[in-house]
Amino acid sequence: GAGVSQSPRYKVAKRGQDVALRCDPISGHVSLFWYQQALGQGPEFLTYFQNEAQLDKSGLPSDRFFAERPEGSVSTLKIQRTQQEDSAVYLCASSRLQGNSYNEQFFGPGTRLTVL
């Protein structure tokens, strides 16, 4: 079956532009996560959805960042008025929802955002 897909794979934006990054999770996966990975660093948590509900957005760095998952499947991460410090790889991950057992998070290939 298909894995997690993300589009676009690469995005170049001029400072001040708005961007939208898309994530298609694995079919049937209830949980969806967004992470930001700066160059030379590990991924850092941004936000988490369970179906369409955004249960945790504590990692969003500013109010310029907004994420949605209106129908509980595809998710979009939107960044308004991009800044150079937003340049990073944005990773999406999905997982099944099970009881008290580890649910592997399956990652997409990421979107590399470069803000000029």
Q: How far is the CB of 100 from other proteins (least distance, A)?
A: 5
8 Å CB contact between 105 and 34: no
| Comparison of 79 and 93: residue with beta carbon closer to other proteins | 93
In the complex with other proteins, the residue whose CB is nearer, 19 or 93, is 93
Helix (H) or strand (E) holding 19: strand 19-24
* Distance, CA of 69 to CA of 99 (rounded, Å): 23
Q: Single out the segment in contact with other proteins by CB under 8 A; choices: 11-19, 62-70, 75-83, 94-102.
A: 94-102
C-alpha 23, offset from chain centre? 7
> According to CB under 8 A, which one of 18, 52, 56, 85 is a site residue for other proteins?
56
CA distance 54 to 61: 16
Report the interface residues with other proteins, using CB under 8 A: 31, 33, 35, 40-45, 48, 50, 56, 59, 89, 91, 93, 95, 97-110, 112
